[in-house]
Amino acid sequence: MRKYVLAFILIISIPALALHVECVGKAVQLTNQGDTLLLFASNPELKTLQSVGEVDWYRLPDTINPIQSGTDYFYPEHGEGYMLKIGSQRDVFWVFDYDSLRPQVSNIEVDLSCEQTTLNLTGEVPTMHYYRANRSLQQYQRTCMVQYQDAAWDDDMEGWGDSIAIEELPFTTSLVVNASAVPTSYAISDLLAFQLGLSEDTLYTELYEPMAIKAHPQTITTTRGSRGETSNEVNRPYDEDDLINMSAPLEVLFKANGLNADYYQWRIYRGSELMLTRNESEHRYTFMEKGNYRAVVVASNDYCEIDSVEFNISVSESLLLVPNVFTPNGDGVNDEFRVAYRSLKEFHCWVYNRWGHLVYEWTDPAKGWNGNIGGRPAAEGAYFYVIRALGTDAEPNAKYTIKPVYKKKVEKIDESIIGVYQLSGSINLLRGGK
């Protein structure tokens, strides 16, 4: 509403030509292609400002023979153009009486559809035309404002809230606006009447039940790691607009957030191939394999159907990287022996001391070893690790060839197997100062 009100104020306050007349009664000045138009609420009447010479009134196109002379007051006719001559000064303008322009509407028929609503007016919206001195026909484009109830998604409330839709249109007997998804009536305001402050001229319809559907699809992704914890996952999950770029296993909650819809279907594609459908407004799905996916939701009722924008989902290939040193001194930097990873479905790490004793093991790649043994700080120095992991891109029957035992020299392994990680080496524990 605010932007339209401001627009109207600008129209009303357009700098006028330096006319030497003033309007008697309720009136506004308009401009049309450089022409000055004076619009009266009723009974047009003009009065000259301070006279500086002989006063002559002319009716266009005749600028030679005045129709009235020597009088300060003048009563112009609707739709006519005039010239006022005071001494050497000349003003040219056209006059309109809103009583002659008032819409004559006996009925409004509302035609609802899925995407738009058509308001068919029975009656007439008079044109606002005039002739210039050169006899060329000009027309001022009449406009109207259609106001109706609608709904808008509120991110703070996580739901649909009431809103007022306002559309400015050319004022004809057939008005097309966007379809509403909530019960509403329609108010049609002539902007000429609005400018004159004639609110009583607004036209109203009955209340209508909607056909249209709205939807606000969302995706909510699972983020691994505790809240506030720095994760060592490569390519930390993020959600940006309709792009999801994460590592597997990736759980996504799909929510349609429909309004006035009775049926829903989520469709998930891998490339161009339809992978699955879910006939529900909300569902969860876990992506386990690398690749590019897209998801859309179709919402419908007995009359309408809409497709949402696409959500693009990119699941990364697996990766596992191991550091060679960590410093558990409590400074919050590199305090744990952790791997960097993405898209792992299995993980196991064993840590041995120099004598081959197992000192620590863990199975969650998001976690690590804090450098303690039995609750006490371990000695500085080199420790030996063995890691076995499977990526989500590994073959279903992929197997490990390395055993989780301490060996100073590990047999050669086949590193060409995609998604199978068999790593061993040393990790240096250095404490130092904070």
Measure the CA–CA gap between 150 and 154, rounded to whole angstroms. Answer: 13
Residue-by-residue DSSP string for 148-203 = EEEEEEETTTTEEEEEEEEEEEE-SSEEEEEPPSS-B-EEEEEHHHHHHT-GGG-E
Report d(CA 213, CA 181) in Å as an integer.
5
Give the Cα separation of 264 and 266 in Å (integer).
7
d(CA 368, CA 319): 17
Distance spanning both ends of the chain, measured CA to CA: 60
Rounded Cα–Cα distance for residues 379 and 387 (Å):
22
Rounded distance between C-alpha atoms, residue 137 and residue 130, angstroms: 6
Q: What pTM did the predictor assign? A: 0.74
Enumerate residues 6+ apart whose C-beta is below 8 A from 416.
none
Q: Are 345 and 320 in contact (CB under 8 A)?
A: no
Query: How far is the C-alpha of 424 from the C-alpha of 387, rounded, in Å?
Result: 6
Per DSSP, 41 falls in state: S
Helices then strands, each counted (H, E), the chain: 3, 39
Give the Cα separation of 405 and 425 in Å (integer): 12
* DSSP single-letter state for residue 19: -
CA distance 27 to 33: 20
Query: Which residues contact residue 332 at a Cβ distance below 8 angstroms, ignoring those fewer than 6 apart?
Result: none
Q: What is the pLDDT of residues 26-75, one digit of tens each?
A: 999 999 999 999 999 999 999 998 666 789 999 999 999 999 998 889 99
SS3 376: strand
**Length of the chain in residues, anyone?**
434
83, 91, 125, 129: which is closest to 108 by C-alpha?
Answer: 125
Compute CA distances 292 → 5, 194, 223, 301, 310, whole Å.
Answer: 47, 54, 19, 31, 12
Backbone φ and ψ for 192, nearest 5 degrees, come out as -65, -45
pLDDT tens-digit profile, the chain (434 residues):
233 333 333 333 333 445 788 899 999 999 999 999 999 999 999 999 866 678 999 999 999 999 999 888 999 999 999 999 988 889 999 999 999 999 999 999 999 999 999 999 999 999 999 999 889 999 999 999 999 999 999 989 999 999 999 999 999 999 999 999 999 999 999 999 999 998 778 999 999 999 999 999 998 887 655 444 556 777 655 545 557 888 888 889 999 999 999 999 999 999 899 999 999 999 999 998 889 999 999 999 999 999 988 899 988 888 999 999 999 998 888 999 999 998 998 999 999 999 999 999 999 998 999 999 999 999 999 999 999 999 988 888 887 777 776 665 554 455 557 889 988 899 999 987 65
**In the chain, what are the domains?**
2-99 (2.60.40), 103-212 (2.60.40), 215-315 (2.60.40.10), 319-429 (2.60.40)
Hey, what are 24's tokens?
Answer: 């008697």
Q: Which amino acid is at 133?
A: A
